[in-house]
Structure 1
């Protein structure tokens, strides 16, 4: 059995298409197919359901993919560990981030890059909570930044980063925009542009609106942060955004950010890594930075500065 064969099988599971999997592995489709066929012979089980086109993995194939991901992750972790012992940490840190945390991730990756100048960072943003957990568990990410719910599945380690608080972003000419605070009930009566309902960030908002006894009826829904701000800029719409986004966007000209109350509740956001030993050296290094970095202070300081300018 060769690492290459396991890589091909994992790629096929991910891409669900022989040609795309071969392209992702930089080999020809016949070479990938032959390597997987030899793996089937060696293991003496069928791994792929074959027809006129790819029809998925067999139950045995699905189980072997889990082992393949683990073996490949251990191989990469071993290489990173040896490299770190010889010349310091190097390679690539892979992090998945929920949309509402995209404004805060740089407060963590910046000190990480300073501490480990030979490491590159790959941030995959705008992912759903469930996708981040799955990809951390499948070794596709070294870590994720997501909500720390009470029902977080077993098999993960967490480091709290900050409390996600929300503001109503509206036009400066809007009556609500001139208030010190706004209620969720008042926000629900405005023409809203919100994230789409399948996103975890939107589900959190819906829970907060429901706690206030109201239900929003957004006329515009999107999975894009930029689209939310663009609609508010027209002066016709309002939106609800995490305070952490002000770290990136500030309060654009012609808009006001008003803290939301009744309820004035916050949601915990934190770093999530796989709970396994010895684990990814990248994950351990990022966890160390997370424990020594006060994201809450950084976000409140920057948001407070922009709020005074708004």
Structure 2
């Protein structure tokens, strides 16, 4: 009963609404409310601020939710561990990724699934860096693919995967397409389609543009890397993409991918997991795969184009 009560409290914290939390837990709203009320009685602290509608958790409730997430994660990890000891690793691996790194996810999920045929994998590919750290802390995902250029909180650890570098994606008919390299300053003068400013990948680009004393004025912004390729295909736009996406799309017909220089900027990308022992058996298995897989070498073998043969 305690696990069920904790699940209801975590769902209410996530959904911020009694009816939606009940729906997420496949129970009626009265049943969810009663279970949380009984949990308050057992713990002898108020957990929910109640009015005519949900008004939020109490300070005590916010603290208890953190414990509830940890207890439920440990329960699931215990079940996964027991299952792995009995018949091999099984269950669902949840990976969150920043958009620019999601193209490299298959370089880990492929050997992971081959090594653990009873598992399934869910890749959430449109998260921001801050979302990944938060969802790891809340045990909503098992691992994250994200930037590791800044020091991580002490409860997280990372495995380096590769250095993200950047290419100018442009129509083959453009005069710059025949060049071996293009400078960031030259790229800033093109009609650009870029990621939105809310995304970490775009903020990296803006930092580099700032270093060379320029500021791009993109006519089109999107949160989708695929949309960047689609806009360049029209022949009207150019874009700047992480080279890892050439592993997915190659260099489409009618386009060229030219390395950007002055500066030749790179940003480290890694696999991030919770630093807990014994922790999630899924995260531990994926970490082992990451340490044995040379992702960087795989991304260097990319389809050609001037400067990217």
Please tell me whether the aligned partners of residues 18 and 29 of structure 1 are also in contact (alpha carbons under 8 angstroms): yes
Distance in 1, matches of 2:281 and 2:88, equals 11
Please tell me whether the aligned partners of residues 100 and 201 of structure 1 are also in contact (alpha carbons under 8 angstroms): yes
Deviation track 1:242-271 (CA, whole Å, cap 9, x = no partner) reads 000011111111111000000002100000
The residue that corresponds to 1:230 in the other structure is 230
Aligned to 1:103, what secondary structure does the other structure show?
Answer: helix
Alignment of 1:240 with 2:240, yes or no, is yes
Aligned to 1:102, what secondary structure does the other structure show?
Answer: helix
Distance in 1, matches of 2:306 and 2:272, equals 30
The residue that corresponds to 1:9 in the other structure is 9
Which shifted more, 51-60 or 112-121?
Answer: 51-60
Deviation track 1:117-145 (CA, whole Å, cap 9, x = no partner) reads 00110111110001101111111111101
Aligned to 1:92, what secondary structure does the other structure show?
Answer: strand
Please tell me whether the aligned partners of residues 94 and 142 of structure 2 are also in contact (alpha carbons under 8 angstroms): yes
The 1:92–1:306 alpha-carbon spacing in structure 2 relative to 1, beyond 3 Å, is farther
Distance in 1, matches of 2:258 and 2:243, equals 10
The 1:64–1:290 alpha-carbon spacing in structure 2 relative to 1, beyond 3 Å, is same
Please tell me whether the aligned partners of residues 259 and 308 of structure 2 are also in contact (alpha carbons under 8 angstroms): no
**Structure 1 residue 93 displacement after superposition:** 0.7
The residue that corresponds to 2:36 in the other structure is 36
**Structure 1 residue 308 displacement after superposition:** 8.2
Please tell me whether the aligned partners of residues 194 and 239 of structure 1 are also in contact (alpha carbons under 8 angstroms): yes
**Structure 1 residue 309 displacement after superposition:** 9.1
**Structure 1 residue 149 displacement after superposition:** 1.9
Deviation track 1:263-302 (CA, whole Å, cap 9, x = no partner) reads 002100000011111100111100000000001111111x
Aligned pairs for 1:186-265 within 5 A: 186-265=186-265
**Structure 1 residue 11 displacement after superposition:** 0.5
Alignment of 1:89 with 2:89, yes or no, is yes
Unaligned runs of 5+ in 2: none
Alignment of 1:102 with 2:102, yes or no, is yes
Distance in 2, matches of 1:39 and 1:75, equals 18
Aligned to 1:198, what secondary structure does the other structure show?
Answer: coil
Aligned to 2:226, what secondary structure does the other structure show?
Answer: helix
The 1:5–1:239 alpha-carbon spacing in structure 2 relative to 1, beyond 3 Å, is same
Please tell me whether the aligned partners of residues 250 and 306 of structure 1 are also in contact (alpha carbons under 8 angstroms): no
Please tell me whether the aligned partners of residues 80 and 90 of structure 1 are also in contact (alpha carbons under 8 angstroms): yes
**Structure 1 residue 307 displacement after superposition:** 6.4
Distance in 2, matches of 1:263 and 1:305, equals 22
**Structure 1 residue 150 displacement after superposition:** 2.7
Distance in 1, matches of 2:121 and 2:162, equals 21
The residue that corresponds to 1:25 in the other structure is 25
**Structure 1 residue 152 displacement after superposition:** 2.2
Please tell me whether the aligned partners of residues 178 and 306 of structure 2 are also in contact (alpha carbons under 8 angstroms): no
Aligned to 2:104, what secondary structure does the other structure show?
Answer: coil
The residue that corresponds to 2:180 in the other structure is 180
Aligned to 2:103, what secondary structure does the other structure show?
Answer: coil
Aligned to 1:119, what secondary structure does the other structure show?
Answer: strand
Distance in 2, matches of 1:178 and 1:11, equals 55
Which shifted more, 44-53 or 235-244?
Answer: 44-53
The residue that corresponds to 2:141 in the other structure is 141
Unaligned runs of 5+ in 1: none
Distance in 2, matches of 1:309 and 1:275, equals 38
Distance in 2, matches of 1:252 and 1:282, equals 36
The residue that corresponds to 2:130 in the other structure is 130
Deviation track 1:189-242 (CA, whole Å, cap 9, x = no partner) reads 001111110111111111111122211111111111121111111111111000
TM-score normalized by structure 1?
0.97
**Structure 1 residue 151 displacement after superposition:** 2.9
The residue that corresponds to 1:295 in the other structure is 295
Query: Where has structure 1 moved over 6 Å in runs of 4 or more?
Result: 306-310
